[in-house]
Every structure is written in C-alpha cells, then in structure tokens.
Chains A and B, each alone.
Chain A
Amino acid sequence: MLDAVLQRRLVFITGKGGVGRTAVATALALAAARAGKRTLVVEINPLGRLGEYLGDLTLGPDPTELTPELAAAAIAPAVIMEDFLTGMLRIRALARRLLESNTFRVVTAAAPGLEDFLTLVRVAEWEEERTGFKRKRRRFDLVIVDAPATGHSVPLLSTPGTFLKMLPFGPLTTRARELALLLGDPKRAAVAVVTRAEEMAVNETLELATALMRVGVTLLPVIVNAVDPFRFTRGEAHRLRAEPAEVPPAWQPYLGVARFSLARQRAAERQIRRLTRALPERPVSLPHAPAGRITLATLEPLADALARPRRRGSRRVS
C-alpha cells in the first residue's frame, strides 16, 4: 500500500463514517515519514481527532512540525474563509467582523461550494509549497488529507469541475482548472477509501469507488480497517463446527463464544473477497488498533501493516 502512496504527492483518505479514516490517515502519515518522506497530514474537520491521536496537540491551519519528516495541520472551513477574506481585506479584524455579519453569510452560503473550493486551494498550496535556498526544495513530499466521509467527499473532489461548469470564465477559472488537473493526474493525486469487513460498509465502499471513478480521480487499493488478526485455522474451524464439537468436554461451555467468533471471521473474509472481486486492485487489511485511546504508539501496528509489501495479485479474469 505504502509504495502506491509514496509515488503520489497528494492523497485523500475517505470512507464511511466511523470506519477509522483519521486513524488510517495518521498511520499512513507515520509510515510515509518513516520511509523518509516529508509528510503533512491534514484534517478537514473542525472537531476531528487528528490532534488527539498525535499526542493531544491543538492543530491549526499552520502545519505543526512533529519531526523533521512529519507535520500536521487542521483546517476548518470557517478559518479558511477568514483567511480568504483577510487576504482580500488585509485586516483580520475586519474579516472576523464580516464573518459574524448575517448579511455576509447570505453571500457566502449562496456561492455554493466556495468553502470546498478554498479548502482544495489550501491543500494544493501545500502540495506546491517550496522552501529553502532559491525555493528549490519542496516543503512536503507528500500531503495526506483526512477528507470528509462518503457523503461529502464526492462533492468536495468534484468542486473544481463544478466551478468550471458554473463559471467558464473569470479569475477563479484558472485556479479551478489547475485543481482539476492536479486531482485528475494519477501521478500526483489519488484517493484511498477506508472501510471495514462488514457488509454495509463494503456496499457503500463499492458505490463510493464508482462515484469517485466518475469524478476522475485515481483510486488506490481499498483499506480494510480493524480486521481481527485472531483467526482459527481451517482444521480448528472444522473441529469447532462439528456436531458434537471435537473438543474436550470441559471446553463445551465456551463453544458458543468460539462459534460466534468463527462465524464473524468467516463473514469478514467473505466481505474482503467481495472487495477483491469487484475492485481492480486487491484490498489491504489493517489490524485492530488496541482498545482504548488511540495514540501514535497504538497506531504503529497499522503503520507497519501499511508498509508491508503487498502480495502481487492481479484481479482474476473471469
């Protein structure tokens, strides 16, 4: 998985609510940083958990450098709008006052997608940002965006296209065209969908993958989060499922739990097979983060799993 990410410069992480997008984005950033890439992980959610996972940091729109290779930022649409206005007015106090004005809210609300557009502009600026002597060095090799959930990610990523359709001429158009080129360039940008090995999450993932392909972004392998590494072997499964079960009598009271766990294991495997069959590339499975608070330490196993070379299996041709 990691090799596919490291080839790009801008990677969006999306997926159904509650599947662990932020944890996966953080683990991916961790793995990329360990591979020596200067990585920025960005959260687009004013109430997100990225800062908490990284060690109870308060993240803002200016990247916080955690190590020379890893930086993190959080951008809230309201803050982006404020920056945009400040750029226009040159005085932040005026921008703030304006944002509180009811009248102004009408104007911005009526310009649909402006916040999404400005969010993408900000992300693209990081992707392009140069630093150092004569600005020869890129500030970040890779920008990982913890994007909104399914429902909002397609509109977000189609914003440049929508803007181009709505405003074929005008000063915004150049920027919209650049963004559309960036998002559509398989060498630079890609999207990874996070899911779980559960039927409805997989259904939604397949729908989302189709919608994203229609938007014209490059899809990375789907990441199946929280796959339980605990598994019974085929032989054990056979012994547990036999009637009567082929286990010592003293173990009988625990058969219920064992069979339940086995059934869940099989259901999860079935869902991963569905993804494998339906998608051009094999999905990547990540283990459960340990129960309790998520921290950089508990995300290590996820980063390890992401960095592990994948089985080279191409899709079966039926």
Chain B
Amino acid sequence: MTTIVVNGPEPRAHPPDYRTAPDRPSRSGPDGGDAARIVELLQRRRLLVCVGSGGVGKTTTAAALGVAAARHGRRTAVLTIDPARRLRDALGISALGGAPHRVPLGRRPPGGSLDAMVLDTKRTFDELIERYAPTRAAAERVFTNRIYESVSTALAGAQEYMAMERLHALAGSGDYDLLVVDTPPTQHALDFLEAPERLIALLTSRAAAILQNPSVILAREGSRLAQAALGAVLRGLERFTGFELLRDVAEFVGGLEEFSAGFHERAASVARFLRAPETAFVLVTTPESARVAETLAFHRELVRAGLPFAGFVVNRALPPGLLDLPPFPDVEGADGADLALGRKLVTLHRRFTALVRAERAEIERLRSAAPDALAVEVPLTTEEPSSLARLVALSETFGPRR
C-alpha cells in the first residue's frame, strides 16, 4: 500500500497555517486506506464528477484533482461548467475559452499533462447540431431560428446536457486518460444527470406538430379536461406572447426533430458513461453543519440511483491537533499590553477549540454514513488556491509529490 504524507499547501511566501506543535495532526490527511483509494481514483478511473452545494470549493477541488492526476502521469482534462469561471482563477489563466488550454505544471512524470477548459454551452450545442443534422440546410434552419440562441443557452438542462456532451466527445477523442468535471451547484445531485434526458424528451416530443396545429395532437392527452385546458392555454399563450414566438418555437423544435434519433442515441451513450465503473462521483463539502446535511442528502441520492460514489472531499477543515493543546495559561495576572493580548489569545483558543469539536462531529457524520468511502480533508489555509502554485500545493492533499 502506498503511504501518503499529506502536507497542507504552504507556499513559503505566506504565513504558516495553524500548526502549533511540531508533529502534524495525523487525522487531517488520508490514512493508509484513504490514500490507496485516492491513488486508485487518480490512476484507474476515466471520469471524476465533482458534485456539491454552492460555495464549497467544487471547482477548486476539481482543478486540484486534475493537477494530482497529471502528477500521477495521466493525461488529464478538467472541464468546468460553472458560469462564473472560477477554474480560470484557480488555474491562474486569464483567457480560458471552450478550447482545451494546457496548464503549465512544470516538473511532472512523463506522459502526465493537464488541460483545462470552460464549457461553452452555445458552441457545444452548435457542434451537436452540425453532427446530427441530416443536411447542411437542416442545420442552417436551426441556427438561423430567432429563438435558437436563447434556447441553446437558457433552456433548462441545456448547460448540463452540453457538459455531458462535451465530456463524451472528450472521452471519445482518445486525447485524455482522465476527465475531471465540475458541476453547477444543484439542489439535487441528480439534476445534473437527469437534465440531459429531460431536455431530449422535451426537444423530441413532437412539440412542433402540437404548436402548429394543437387540435391534431390534443387527442394524445389523456383526459378531455386536459384537452380543453391545453387548447385554451395555447390560444392564450398565442395572445399573450404574440403569434411570432410560437411559430418560431414550432419551427425550432420541428427542425430538431429531424435528428432526434441521433440525440437519443447520444444521450443513452452519455448515460452509460456516467454509470460505468471507471466513473466516480466525488461529493465536495465543507465541515459546516448545513453543508454536511446537504452533502448527506446528495449521497443518499447517488446511492439510490446506483451511481459509482467514491467519496467526500471536506474542504477548509481545521486540524484536530488543536484539541490537544493544554488549557490556555491564566493571563489575568499579566499587566498592560500583555493582559489585552493574553485575553485575545484566550478567546481565540476557545473559539478554535469549539470550532474543531463541531467540525470533527460533522466529519464523523460523513464517515459513518459511508464507512467504506473516501473522506479527504483539505486543510483551511490563510490564502485561497487562486494561483497555480497554490493549486499544485493543494493537489498534494490528493497524492504524493512526484
């Protein structure tokens, strides 16, 4: 078994973290079992999906996992679909377009590399349409539709679907051994997975015919009541939005129908990829109680859906070693400046102790919910990993320096 010594990111230029005693707290890093699981993730899997609530450091975690994998000698790509493009900050790259961008990692084992990219939803949609349109004219009809631009970027599920599409294309390109993807913050872990299928169902459900001539399709609706309602609403919507919009929608959806078979086949293939054994889902969280509760809910969803869950990454955890410090010496005898500073240090020590206790309890909840899964703690630092050097240091949480 590989033994991994974990060091928190600690670039020389910055003040140290809160390590107080010379011996590093032992539980803040992966133990033997966790270390072996991380190595397995980084070396054997082909897709890592990072899921979590907003603000927990998903994007940074995805980037750090990517760096770690590259340093394990794998050709790695990190895809972020986060609209605020935080990966760009984390990787210290000012212009990250839809195209893969090589991240200059410096020393790494032969073969290892890291490319980063931000999802360009619109461009991916364009490519998809070009691929599946039976004729050039059919593709043009879609592109020139007035509502195409809003539908291709704003329609619910478009972003998720295009992320899956892009992943699938990248996986099929043979250029990469491992893909790491960051997901948009969701209320439900499975939104991301189900969105593509929902979107395809919408786009290919003969909506065009309905829109062009509601009376034809009304018969397909189950009850007379629904038929009447649908008819009334369609007329109302036409009045409300103006006829033009409905006609555009009808044309747009009609245009897409011509290649619905291709869409379905592609979605099924993406769904298989996500459920494959070489895929792993990583739940990213922080040790706060509200976030842990959300993460446990995500975990239940993943397990219920039978998806390959690999483990938790707990960002911004304080080291448990703080609990080993003796009670702060009495300061009330001190005088003047010493008294003021001493009192502050007492407060600080009390605060940190309480925080660490609360965090340990939360992390224990995660561990007991999934005793066999990985639980990596990423130590809280004074600086955020917004430069490449810091990201590389952070990646060492996930594997040894090579």
Residues on A lying within 8 angstroms of B by beta carbon are: 16-19, 47, 85, 88-89, 93-95, 97-98, 101-107, 109-114, 149-151, 155, 162, 166-167, 169-173, 198-200, 203-204, 207-208, 230, 232, 235-236, 239-240, 247-248, 250-251, 253-264, 266-267, 291
Per CB-CB distance, the 7 closest pairs between chain A and chain B, nearest first, are A18-B55, A17-B54, A170-B242, A256-B20, A260-B18, A106-B207, A263-B15
Query: When the two chains form their complex, are residues A254 and B325 in contact, meaning their CB atoms are under 8 A apart?
Result: yes
**Given the contacts A88-B233, A170-B244, A207-B84, A256 and B146 also touching, CB distance less than 8 Å:** no
Query: When the two chains form their complex, are residues B207 and A113 in contact, meaning their CB atoms are under 8 A apart?
Result: no
Beyond known contacts A16-B84, A106-B207, A260-B16: 14 more, CB 8 A cutoff? A47-B187, A94-B229, A110-B202, A111-B237, A166-B147, A172-B241, A199-B384, A230-B348, A236-B340, A253-B326, A254-B349, A263-B14, A264-B382, A291-B358
With most chain A CB atoms within 10 A of its CB, the pick from B241, B244, B384 is B241
B156 within 8 A of A: yes
Selected from B228, B236, B345, the residue in CB contact (under 8 A) with A254 is: B345
- B128 surroundings in chain A (CB, below 8 A): none
- A240–B348 Cα distance when bound, in Å, is 13
**Residue on B with the closest CB to A117?**
B241
Selected from A103, A198, A257, the residue in CB contact (under 8 A) with B230 is: A103
B305 within 8 A of A: no
Q: In the assembled complex, how far is the CB of residue B189 from the closest CB belonging to chain A, in whole angstroms?
A: 14
Docked complex: B167-197 residues within 8 A CB-CB of A: 184-185, 187
Selected from A171, A173, A253, A260, the residue in CB contact (under 8 A) with B239 is: A171
Query: When the two chains form their complex, are residues A89 and B233 in contact, meaning their CB atoms are under 8 A apart?
Result: yes
**Residue on A with the closest CB to B322?**
A257
**Given the contacts A17-B53, A170-B244, A262-B15, A97 and B223 also touching, CB distance less than 8 Å:** yes
Query: When the two chains form their complex, are residues B242 and A109 in contact, meaning their CB atoms are under 8 A apart?
Result: no
Query: When the two chains form their complex, are residues A112 and B202 in contact, meaning their CB atoms are under 8 A apart?
Result: no
- A267–B390 Cα distance when bound, in Å, is 15
Docked complex: B350-368 residues within 8 A CB-CB of A: 351-352, 354-355, 358
B372 within 8 A of A: no
Query: When the two chains form their complex, are residues B249 and A167 in contact, meaning their CB atoms are under 8 A apart?
Result: no
Tell me how many residue pairs across A and B have CB atoms closer than 8 Å.
Answer: 217
Q: In the assembled complex, how far is the CB of residue A258 from the closest CB belonging to chain B, in whole angstroms?
A: 6
- A260–B347 Cα distance when bound, in Å, is 14
**Given the contacts A101-B230, A254-B325, A248 and B338 also touching, CB distance less than 8 Å:** yes
- A97–B232 Cα distance when bound, in Å, is 13
B303 within 8 A of A: no
Q: In the assembled complex, how far is the CB of residue A163 from the closest CB belonging to chain B, in whole angstroms?
A: 9
- A18–B294 Cα distance when bound, in Å, is 12
Docked complex: B306-359 residues within 8 A CB-CB of A: 322, 325-326, 328-329, 334, 337-338, 340-342, 344-345, 347-349, 351-352, 354-355, 358
- A302–B267 Cα distance when bound, in Å, is 48
- B252 surroundings in chain A (CB, below 8 A): 110
Query: When the two chains form their complex, are residues B240 and A104 in contact, meaning their CB atoms are under 8 A apart?
Result: no
Selected from B14, B150, B201, B348, the residue in CB contact (under 8 A) with A113 is: B150
B280 within 8 A of A: no
**Residue on A with the closest CB to B223?**
A97
Q: In the assembled complex, how far is the CB of residue B135 from the closest CB belonging to chain A, in whole angstroms?
A: 23
Query: When the two chains form their complex, are residues A260 and B15 in contact, meaning their CB atoms are under 8 A apart?
Result: yes
Query: When the two chains form their complex, are residues B84 and A151 in contact, meaning their CB atoms are under 8 A apart?
Result: yes
**Residue on A with the closest CB to B237?**
A107
Q: In the assembled complex, how far is the CB of residue A26 from the closest CB belonging to chain B, in whole angstroms?
A: 15
Chain A contact surface mostly: helix
**Residue on A with the closest CB to B16?**
A259
- A102–B221 Cα distance when bound, in Å, is 9
B225 within 8 A of A: yes
Task: Mark contacts of B60-92 with chain A using CB atoms, 8 A cut-off: 1 yes-contact digit, 0 otherwise.
Answer: 100000000000000000000011111001100
Q: In the assembled complex, how far is the CB of residue B334 from the closest CB belonging to chain A, in whole angstroms?
A: 7
Q: In the assembled complex, how far is the CB of residue B277 from the closest CB belonging to chain A, in whole angstroms?
A: 31
- A173–B245 Cα distance when bound, in Å, is 12
The 18 sampled A-B contact pairs (Cβ below 8 Å) are A18-B53, A18-B55, A89-B229, A89-B236, A95-B229, A98-B226, A107-B249, A110-B207, A113-B154, A150-B83, A166-B150, A171-B242, A172-B240, A172-B241, A199-B383, A230-B351, A260-B18, A260-B382
Interface size on B, residues (CB 8 A): 85
- A158–B384 Cα distance when bound, in Å, is 32
**Residue on B with the closest CB to A196?**
B55
- A89–B207 Cα distance when bound, in Å, is 21
Selected from A105, A162, A251, A253, the residue in CB contact (under 8 A) with B342 is: A251
- A260 surroundings in chain B (CB, below 8 A): 15-18, 382
Query: When the two chains form their complex, are residues A89 and B89 in contact, meaning their CB atoms are under 8 A apart?
Result: no
Docked complex: B23-78 residues within 8 A CB-CB of A: 53-56, 60
- B207 surroundings in chain A (CB, below 8 A): 103, 106-107, 110
With most chain A CB atoms within 10 A of its CB, the pick from B146, B184, B239, B348 is B348
Q: In the assembled complex, how far is the CB of residue A100 from the closest CB belonging to chain B, in whole angstroms?
A: 8
**Given the contacts A88-B236, A101-B221, A267-B382, A109 and B337 also touching, CB distance less than 8 Å:** no
- A151 surroundings in chain B (CB, below 8 A): 82-84, 184
- B85 surroundings in chain A (CB, below 8 A): 207
- B236 surroundings in chain A (CB, below 8 A): 88-89
B205 within 8 A of A: yes
**Residue on B with the closest CB to A167?**
B242
- A162 surroundings in chain B (CB, below 8 A): 150
- B187 surroundings in chain A (CB, below 8 A): 47
- A290–B274 Cα distance when bound, in Å, is 41
**Given the contacts A97-B223, A112-B155, A230-B347, A200 and B86 also touching, CB distance less than 8 Å:** yes
B268 within 8 A of A: no
- B249 surroundings in chain A (CB, below 8 A): 107, 110-111
B133 within 8 A of A: no
Selected from A18, A114, A172, A232, the residue in CB contact (under 8 A) with B54 is: A18
Q: In the assembled complex, how far is the CB of residue B341 from the closest CB belonging to chain A, in whole angstroms?
A: 5
**Given the contacts A102-B205, A170-B241, A263-B14, A239 and B347 also touching, CB distance less than 8 Å:** no
- B392 surroundings in chain A (CB, below 8 A): none
**Residue on A with the closest CB to B14?**
A263
**Residue on A with the closest CB to B19?**
A256
Q: In the assembled complex, how far is the CB of residue B207 from the closest CB belonging to chain A, in whole angstroms?
A: 4
Query: When the two chains form their complex, are residues B386 and A111 in contact, meaning their CB atoms are under 8 A apart?
Result: no
**Given the contacts A111-B241, A149-B185, A262-B15, A251 and B384 also touching, CB distance less than 8 Å:** no
- A97–B56 Cα distance when bound, in Å, is 39
Query: When the two chains form their complex, are residues B220 and A103 in contact, meaning their CB atoms are under 8 A apart?
Result: yes
- A49–B231 Cα distance when bound, in Å, is 38
**Residue on A with the closest CB to B236?**
A88
**Residue on B with the closest CB to A84?**
B240
